[in-house]
Structure 1
């Protein structure tokens, strides 16, 4: 019988070898880092709940009004016409993520990611409150089916999920609309009510069932580690030079001739890990840098009268005895790129006028031939008011060939602050003007407050017949 030399296949900690779910019940390790993470997490939760209610100059601090295509960030409202500004803002955000990852590793995952914050400092503590802090106690209660403690836990989860769903909805519809909906029958606004139920269900499913699998399976951030990290980036790591050779206390007493390291192979770093990994296996995609293993190991080292820091914030090069370098190419390049993007944003913002004018062709056909033989072009004049005040815009033809006329029910429109208004006009042109060239007209849009925009528009008409 031949023996296979293949290494045993490694599976996620959340899976058993047969593919079934392995429920992780990490043991809580309270220490220096957990204390500060808990404080920071509750600060972030408070900010998340508070932000939709903050207003600056009557505008929400953050509002992603998708139906009306308005995005308000830090009190600044962006309209669909501000694509370049939104591009600069998105680039600055992603470059900042790259910089933070290059310097601090996955500090975002362990300290600020909503998945970690709510799971470890809201939903997991509630689970421990109802089902006990001991993993074995939790397992025993959960194995009993619909135990009253489990039912109470899930009921609390649903209430919290609804609160988070309503807060999430406030970022997209505003607190005024949300408050009005909450005091009315759901049948008056079925679509927002359905979205609220959908988000509530998603939050409950995530934190009650899917849990750490969101980090391990769904989130792509961990898979970007090989690109975003370098060997000088900060990680949570185990020092094998100090810890190896491992040996339990009983083993050390028996094998006194072996030179053991500081690691007593107690497994505290594994049982406390929310993703179920063994940090002693080196840098892993599943590690979210939550520092629970640091607190657990430091507590053991203190009991053994050994120096703390066997597991610590470090870097791959430092663990190999190499000198730690703060300044390196990507740490210098990312800030320069961020500065360049911010400069582009500021320049674009300074050249941003009080209004943006767009001329959009309308009608089922490009043009129409009227009874008198004239060619009619239907044009929508879309005016984006980029100011914080309402303006009345007057529209007229500024430059045109002889015989061209503008027909409109009204020739002015009032547009509210950070809103888009549209006025439809008809341009009639003698057909003979299309025989030699394509006529071009120039509109003039004024608001009496300094705006004097003069966009051009190319008219469409019948092509001349060859030979005529």
Structure 2
């Protein structure tokens, strides 16, 4: 049951609040921060944000503990950046240093994905999945649990430093610091075996860099999420300024429909009895007090707005109490907003008369009652989607088509050749066989070209030959010192050089390198 007034009208609580980041006030460049005490919101968007926070934090904290069996010769951590071995493991995918273009491609996809999301649905990244937003939400959960909701926190902040206040503040900040430690601790687990690193970290035997990393991330998480909050988004993050270039009249953004809400009135029944035309906004400030950025969405689009949609939940709850249609504040495009404004405009002027856009039952006529496909099917979004898709397909093809055997050859620089006593010429090469699977393999190394040339591999089977079987360790680089000798009367064969071929007979993987052969008078 909703509380009723003496006249049987629903009572809507009015919050005495003023936007901290007011759009109509020109603030100085440097100004002391005004604290924001956002009220807990309830509604479908708040529930969605809880879900996103749970999923994103779960992924971040739990991923290093997921195991993935790669065999006895490779780590069993599903996601691991192994700096010492210069490998990046992601479940069944293993990236070597020379394959860093995969990481670069993923970064390109992330960038165009952000452009795509922003051009279609505004700053959805900022409002729901940005780490700053997620951790601030987490810190606010702790703050509300210890100090209470908005009014209680404001009263506590303005009150004297009693023992109870000190206990609450120390408890809150202690938990914030613990969250920061957990954040930094989770990060370092991505760079080493998580169980082993945790054991050494607790026993104070971990590398110094691990403790330094945790300390830095603890400090940044605590300061950004607990102390600075909205200032990070407003002053430190460049995206609010960049995202304006991503938006157009068909981008979905959080909008106050002033064609329906204006003029505002706190006493609508009295105004209606007096024959005054009023909008649906009762000026309760519910949208202001729930905003984590401290803005009033009724002032229009602002740089600080992260489109978290909590103001939509707050306003919808008020409309429900008043028995009016939801959507006074809603996700809308500028194009749809302009169409609705046209319905509410009298004779082409800007004087708004909400009474002109009501049905017979008093419901507002909203031209936008269905999903606007222009949000998706427009050139800007399709270009971003096309580039994102092409990069993704290219990376997927490269991943599926790549060989897991590579051959690198480096000719000796000093000396470039050796003249032996019988007049034959010998060249030396450093050959590296990259076995990029966690299994022992036998690779055949063969000379192709220079029919009279013979090869010898230091430390391998004695004698000369044109082909050798070489055992290579799993998931490692095997370095070989190779000597190629050409008889004195066959030096003319060296004109076109030769090829070194590495091949795995079992999988038919093959790599080839075209090498030069240097000789007296023709050194290269």
**TM-score band, normalised by the shorter chain?**
0.7 to 0.9
Match of 2:73 in 1: none
Deviation at 1:17, TM superposition (A): 7.0
Q: Which has the larger radius of gyration?
A: 2
Does the 8 A contact of 1:109 with 1:116 survive in 2? yes
Does the 8 A contact of 1:368 with 1:377 survive in 2? yes
Q: Alignment partner of 1:38: what SS?
A: helix
| Residues matched between the structures, number | 449
State how 1:389-468 maps to structure 2 within 5 Å.
389-400=439-450, 406-410=456-460, 412-416=470-474, 419-427=475-483, 440-449=497-506, 450-458=508-516
Deviation at 1:156, TM superposition (A): 1.0
Q: CA RMSD in A?
A: 3.7
Q: Alignment partner of 1:72: what SS?
A: strand
Match of 2:288 in 1: 270
Match of 1:125 in 2: 141
Match of 2:110 in 1: 93
Deviation at 1:332, TM superposition (A): 3.2
Match of 2:33 in 1: 21
Do the aligned partners of residues 299 and 455 (structure 1) sit closer, same or farther apart at CA in structure 2, a change above 3 Å counting?
Answer: same
Do the aligned partners of residues 35 and 85 (structure 1) sit closer, same or farther apart at CA in structure 2, a change above 3 Å counting?
Answer: closer
Q: Alignment partner of 1:443: what SS?
A: strand
Q: Alignment partner of 2:98: what SS?
A: coil
* Counterpart among 75, 80, 87 of residue 63 in structure 1: 80
Match of 2:335 in 1: 317
Report whether the alignment pairs 1:54 with 2:66: yes
* Counterpart among 185, 201, 209 of residue 204 in structure 2: 185
Distance in 1 between the 2:42 and 2:426 partners?
76
Report whether the alignment pairs 1:211 with 2:229: yes
Distance in 1 between the 2:408 and 2:270 partners?
79
Deviation at 1:256, TM superposition (A): 4.9
Does the 8 A contact of 2:405 with 2:434 survive in 1? yes
The CA deviation string for residues 31-78 of structure 1, in whole angstroms up to 9 with x for no partner, is: 232123213322332232222222343344322334433223343112
Report whether the alignment pairs 1:111 with 2:123: no
Distance in 2 between the 1:382 and 1:180 partners?
36
Q: Alignment partner of 1:185: what SS?
A: coil
Does the 8 A contact of 2:452 with 2:487 survive in 1? no
Deviation at 1:125, TM superposition (A): 1.2
Deviation at 1:219, TM superposition (A): 2.7
The unaligned stretches of length 5 or more in structure 2 are: 1-22, 71-75, 341-367, 462-469
Q: More deviation in 307-316 or 370-379? A: 370-379
Does the 8 A contact of 2:38 with 2:292 survive in 1? yes
Q: More deviation in 127-136 or 79-88? A: 79-88
The CA deviation string for residues 247-281 of structure 1, in whole angstroms up to 9 with x for no partner, is: 44399769956533222333222222111122122
The CA deviation string for residues 94-149 of structure 1, in whole angstroms up to 9 with x for no partner, is: 333333333322222222222212211x2111112222222413423697798221
Does the 8 A contact of 2:440 with 2:471 survive in 1? no
Match of 1:283 in 2: 301
Match of 1:3 in 2: none
Do the aligned partners of residues 339 and 136 (structure 1) sit closer, same or farther apart at CA in structure 2, a change above 3 Å counting?
Answer: closer
Does the 8 A contact of 2:53 with 2:134 survive in 1? yes
Deviation at 1:237, TM superposition (A): 1.0
The CA deviation string for residues 388-447 of structure 1, in whole angstroms up to 9 with x for no partner, is: 42324354544447567555334845232xx34140425466899999987734223234
Match of 2:99 in 1: 82
Distance in 2 between the 1:127 and 1:200 partners?
18
Distance in 2 between the 1:18 and 1:334 partners?
37
Distance in 1 between the 2:299 and 2:430 partners?
64
* Counterpart among 162, 170, 174 of residue 151 in structure 1: 170
